[in-house]
A and B are shown apart, each in its own frame.
Chain A
Amino acid sequence: GIQVEQSPPDLILQEGANSTLRCNFSDSVNNLQWFHQNPWGQLINLFYIPSGTKQNGRLSATTVATERYSLLYISSSQTTDSGVYFCAVELGDYKLSFGAGTTVTVRA
């Protein structure tokens, strides 16, 4: 199956800092999403972004499908940004595969 690698595995930020999370995948995909899992375990949709660039407030994402990677940018981080960020991709076989996630800790 498709391989999904996220980096870094852990990230500690001071409040107000910017950061970039990366997702590499091993094959062409027709579906790519970024999720945030908050400290209570809820999985929240951030972006549906199989290609191109999107922005939502302090978060933005870019997917370069031809080079098989996606980036999630967090600007002016806040403590509420803490949690685990997952990238998930699908080949077109109805099986959305998740990376292992990046654990982000934002310190006040």
Chain B
Amino acid sequence: NAGVTQTPKFQVLKTGQSMTLQCAQDMNHEYMSWYRQDPGMGLRLIHYSVGAGITDQGEVPNGYNVSRSTTEDFPLRLLLAAPSQTSVYFCASRRQGHTGELFFGEGSRLTVL
């Protein structure tokens, strides 16, 4: 049981490039989310999804796109990378509803030059 798997673990981009951070979970969780973590600021919610075909914005959605075509996968897309998007990104999932534990992937460290 792999849990929540994120790829890649490290990535360096140039300003203006695009890329996709992949997230997959094998726990049949309906809820999935993306967070970014910056020094001294805790984790901030970017986007979330409560099921296949349903996504919504979190606290800091600008510059990011998401889609949810399957229960298992929830990719995060950066269309025009900017230095302000240099951060560590975490994907997380939990069962359906508002309760229950949130389980995190190991994170993806992104640097935009």
Chain A interface residues (CB < 8 Å from chain B):
1, 30-31, 33, 35, 41-43, 45, 48, 50, 86, 88, 90, 92, 94-101
Which of A31, A94, A97 counts the most chain B CB atoms within 10 A?
A: A94
Which of B42, B103, B107 counts the most chain A CB atoms within 10 A?
A: B42
- By size class, the interface of chain B is 20 to 34
Give B53-69 as 1s and 0s: 1 = Cβ < 8 Å from A's Cβ atoms. Answer: 00010110000000000
Q: Which residue of A lies closest to B44 (CB)?
A: A98
Q: Which residues does chain B contribute within 8 Å of A98, judged by CB atoms?
A: 35, 42-44
Contact of B102 among A30, A96, A99 (CB under 8 A): A96
Which of A1, A31, A100 counts the most chain B CB atoms within 10 A?
A: A31
Q: Which residues does chain B contribute within 8 Å of A86, judged by CB atoms?
A: 42-43
Let me know if B31 and A94 touch, CB within 8 A: yes
Contact of A95 among B59, B88, B100, B104 (CB under 8 A): B59
Contact of A99 among B35, B42, B50, B100 (CB under 8 A): B42
**Complex A-B, nearest 6 residue pairs according to Cβ-Cβ distance, in ascending order:** A43-B104, A98-B42, A98-B43, A48-B101, A100-B42, A92-B98
Question: In the complex, what's the smallest C-beta–C-beta distance from A11 to chain B, in angstroms?
Answer: 16
Are A90 and B106 also in contact (CB < 8 A) when A95-B45, A95-B58, A100-B41 are?
Answer: no
Interchain CA distance A41-B108 in the complex, whole Å: 10
Let me know if A41 and B45 touch, CB within 8 A: no
Interchain CA distance A34-B107 in the complex, whole Å: 18
Q: Is B90 an interface residue (CB 8 A)?
A: yes
Let me know if A94 and B98 touch, CB within 8 A: yes
11 further interface pairs, Cβ-Cβ under 8 Å (given A41-B106, A45-B103)? A1-B59, A31-B99, A33-B101, A33-B102, A42-B104, A90-B98, A92-B98, A94-B31, A95-B45, A95-B58, A100-B41
Q: Which residues does chain A contribute within 8 Å of B98, judged by CB atoms?
A: 30-31, 90, 92, 94
Let me know if A42 and B101 touch, CB within 8 A: no
